[in-house]
Amino acid sequence: MERVFPLIETERLALRNVSANDAKDMFTYLSDQDVVQHMGLEPYKSSEEVMEEINWYKSIWENGTGIRWCITLKDEDTVIGSCGFLNMQQKHYKAEIGYELSRNYWGQGIASEALEAVLAYGFKHLNLERIEALIEPLNTSSQRLVEKHGFLREGLLRHYEYTCGKFDDLYMYSILKGDFPSLKHTK
């Protein structure tokens, strides 16, 4: 039996599965240096590169190693970002979270709203105990975002990744199921 990709709705957002039709919308923000600068990526230069990203979203879902939702506003079907899990390890009840948002939507609480919904899904439906976020030290807005949602900084991973021709240090953040605010009073 084929698994059904879950739709998540929040007050303002619909988080849904990606399709090839979303490539143009995704190119808008994945080609923006300000959006990708802390993702270990060069700005995308073609729709073919965006299709590789779409195929990766599909492959992590099919392989059970992650799930990535496209972020859209409820009243529009334009993809304005994504949020989801990667490097999911069911055996250890943990996953890494990642996200990005089109610059046109920064500062409106959209990333926060999407992150809250995806964290809740991970703890409630994927039975995760630990969710990690790896964040570059210069990406202070992302650090503030995860801290607002209860993540704790555990330490600095020195030269943890090699991207864009350089070694990157990354802060390791995590949140445990018992630390997640909206789950503290539910069984």
Examine the pLDDT at 14 and tell me if it is beyond 70: yes
Q: What does the pLDDT read at residue 187?
A: 39
Instruction: Please tell me the distance from the alpha carbon of residue 167 to that of residue 177, in angstroms, as a whole number.
Output: 31
Examine the pLDDT at 185 and tell me if it is beyond 70: no
Q: pLDDT digit string (tens) for 36-82?
A: 887 878 889 998 899 999 999 999 999 999 999 999 999 999 999 99
Token reading at 87: 């490097």
Q: What does the pLDDT read at residue 41?
A: 80
Confidence tier at 33 by pLDDT (50, 70, 90): confident
Examine the pLDDT at 184 and tell me if it is beyond 90: no
Helix H or strand E encompassing 160: strand 152-163
Q: Please tell me whether the overall predicted TM-score, pTM, comes out greater than 0.85 for this model.
A: yes
Q: What does the pLDDT read at residue 186?
A: 43
Alpha helix (H) residue ranges in the chain: 23-30, 33-36, 47-63, 110-124, 140-148
Q: Which domains does the chain have, with CATH numbers?
A: 8-183 (3.40.630.30)
Confidence tier at 183 by pLDDT (50, 70, 90): low
Q: By percentage, how much of the chain surpasses pLDDT 70?
A: 96
Q: What does the pLDDT read at residue 1?
A: 58
| pLDDT, the chain, mean | 92
Examine the pLDDT at 129 and tell me if it is beyond 90: yes
Confidence tier at 115 by pLDDT (50, 70, 90): very high
- The answer to whether 80 and 25 have CB atoms below 8 angstroms apart is yes
